[in-house]
Amino acid sequence: MLLMASSGFGIVQMAEAHPGSFWETIRTQFEHKAWQGISLWDLIQPSFMFMVGVAVPLSCAKRREAGQGFLGMAWHALTRSVLLILIAVVLSTKAADKQTTWIFTNVLAQIGLGYFFLFIIAGLGWEYMTAGVIALLAGYTAFFAMHPLPTPEQFASIQGIKVPAEGILQGWFGHWSIHFNAAAHFDRWFLNLLPQAQAFTYNAGGYQTLNFVPALATMLGGALTGRFLMRSPLEARSKCARLLVAGVILIFLGTIVDIVALPAVKRIWTPSWAILSGGWVLLMLSAFYWLVEIAGFRRLVFPLVVVGMNSITIYVLHSLCAGWIRDSLHKHLPPAAFPTEWLPVIDRCGVLLVLWLICWWLYKQKAFLRL
């Protein structure tokens, strides 16, 4: 959430202004890959979705202790799913003039679409969660593989949308090309069943509604991890080591699959991407687990706790108010606070600081937005 609210700390803009500099060297980690591949910026969404999964067994255990039954928890999960989807649609519509924009690629919508299924499967036990991950990834691979390969004429027919060369894959990998894959074909049917200002043709970035299906596998992986952390009798160091080893194995497996079987593409959440990104998230989790539970550096991660306790709050505020906050800072602070050569960094870090202070104030007031 801190990375997301930083808008990349202005690093991409600094790289554009200073080609060949240090900013250019690190730029690739602060923007999404055009299609195949992975960067730090690409890991924001899988980290968030994985942690949603981690929280489910912990949340359900707490609710059972409070005396809530299955039906009560199921109703809460369904309500949360619907609210997340509606919030996502509202955020996606903010730039529209006259009517609702019905798209579901926003991260909140993706979580909402899969959350109820996550709750049901996670409640059945680790065997069902493991089987669910395998079935989702294998089934989604087959879904794409059975869709016809795109033709050059199809890409040439796109009007008004820049098709990145990286998005046009060759041979077997062509089943996962941009705009003409199975999920894109589904969206051209499904989204046009809903009222739209104009007929839906393509998502410019290649993101698709059905991403939530393999992303559910990511959330189930998080639920398996949460169950392991909650129930395993192992000591903290052993848990940390197993998280680390599992992460390394998944990165190795995801990389091999990306090279020889199907591409790792975040924008359509390919199964290889789910495996690869899951490995990196586990490595990050093992690092934080060591930092907090073993080394005891709890104060060091306090800035993250403040945001984590109100993650939806900072997400919505950033989506709706980032531009207004930036303009207000320029209005009320002296020009000397915004030197031109550092303006992209100062603007984005200023917005991040304001958003963090709001979360900190809410944290001090014990006010937390929960769905």
- CA nearest 190: which of 162, 210, 169, 213? 210
Beta-bridged to residue 17, according to DSSP, are none
- Cα separation of 55 and 267, whole Å? 25
Mean pLDDT of the 245-256 span: 97
- Output the pLDDT for position 97: 61
- pLDDT, tens only, 74-129: 999 999 999 999 999 999 887 666 788 899 999 999 999 999 999 999 999 999 99
Structure tokens belonging to residue 98: 């006259």
Q: What percent of the chain has pLDDT over 70?
A: 99
Domain boundaries defined on the chain:
1-31+298-371, 44-235+263-270
Task: State the pTM of this model.
Answer: 0.92
Mean pLDDT of the 38-62 span: 94
DSSP assignment of 42-77: GGHHHHHHHHHHHHHHHHHHHHHHTT--HHHHHHHH
**Identity (one letter) of the amino acid at 182?**
A
pLDDT at 19 over 70: yes
How distant is the alpha carbon of residue 121 from its chain centre?
A: 21
